[in-house]
Amino acid sequence: MRALRKTKAGPGLELVEVPEPVCGDRDVKVRVLRAGLCGTDLHLESWDDWAAATVSAPMTIGHEFFGEVVEVGADVEHVVVGDRVSGEGHIVCGTCRSCRAGRRQLCIHTIGVGVNRDGAFADLVVIPATNAWVQPADLDPDLGALFDPLGNATHTALQWPMVGEDVAITGAGPIGVMATAIVRHAGARRIAVSDVRPERLELAARAGADLTVDVSGGRDLAWAQHELGMLEGFDIGLEMSGAPDAVRDLLDNLNHGARVAMLGLPRSPYEIDWGKVITHMITLRGIYGREMFETWYLMGSMLASSPALRAAVQSVITWRGPAEDWQEAFAHTRSGLGGKAVLDWS
């Protein structure tokens, strides 16, 4: 089968022929129809310090995918051949304290599909059956491939009730744009989204932002408050950028008692004003991945009930093409000028 692999330690990837993966007794084998690119894939392709310390080559990368089940293991009952599934990319141990308590997203032994084991940039991928989320048979494959990043957006955006709240979102990448659509769906009053890329801010505006803030032009969230006629700071912040300046701008423009969900990963440690966090009684909550599997139920329910939300989520796809054009997909993603790139493996 075809697979896009890190064949050796160092920059670059190769589209090569490899043997089909073996399906274990508790696994499912999925024929990949669509696979989305993620920032993690860019790190792996460029082979930065994180990738070099995390990944053992050779490795097939890719973890955002949708496909059709072509084989199930002997001990699998809830998934059958022919099911169409999205894949939860975090594989947990099932035996640590968090797993046994039903908090699998907090597993201390989590490994990643396409990072610690062969992934989904391939004709076929094998995952534990428990990681296969069965989708409606008529689901658009492009939408099915977005459930991993949509889960990040959902997990972040729905940490607290949104009805009537003023929300600031820092970072208008694909996850930030999807989070914009979710908080609009969930009843937020005012939504301001900041970024340095006008193209991405345009996506956020179409997804439901009341105001976009191009911080590369000198504007900030204080300007946004003035434009929106706000008398107090934002009630909720969603930090999607990992940029220290964005975090500082967010903290400077929060109401007392505000709540912040932080998903964006910084490249290195940075200082924040802890005095303000304390005296303004701000709650900071780190977010990683998705709740397994409450977030998946929420995603499915929201999308099923809202054509507008489905359209907003799919609007983050700004590049589509065959797997053979993977280099173009990576260039599009690395440029930061658009949203999500989706590879067609069918």
The residues annotated with a catalytic role in the active site are 40, 43
Nearest Cα neighbor of 30 from 76, 96, 95 is 76
AA letter at 303: L
For the record, the structure tokens of 41 come out as 């894939």
**Strand runs (DSSP E) across 171-245, as ranges?**
190-195, 211-214, 234-239
Q: Compute the half-sphere exposure of residue 192: CA atoms within 13 Å on the CB side of its CA.
A: 28
**Cα–Cα distance for residue pair 115/26, rounded to 1 Å:** 20
Judge whether 85 and 34 are in contact, CB under 8 Å: no
Judge whether 143 and 300 are in contact, CB under 8 Å: no
* Phi, psi angle pair for 302, to nearest 5°: -65, -45
AA letter at 228: L
Residues in the chain: 346
Q: 């009730």: which residue's tokens? A: 161
Contacts of 46 (CB under 8 A, 6+ apart): 11
| Cα angle value 305/309/312 (rounded, 5°) | 160
Helix (H, G, I), strand (E, B) or coil at 293: coil
Judge whether 34 and 93 are in contact, CB under 8 Å: no
Helix (H, G, I), strand (E, B) or coil at 190: strand
Nearest Cα neighbor of 244 from 271, 213, 214, 221 is 271
Pairing of the two strands 111-112 and 90-91: antiparallel
277 by Cβ neighbours in 10 Å (0-12 / 13-18 / 19+) ranks as middle
Q: 């007794």: which residue's tokens? A: 25
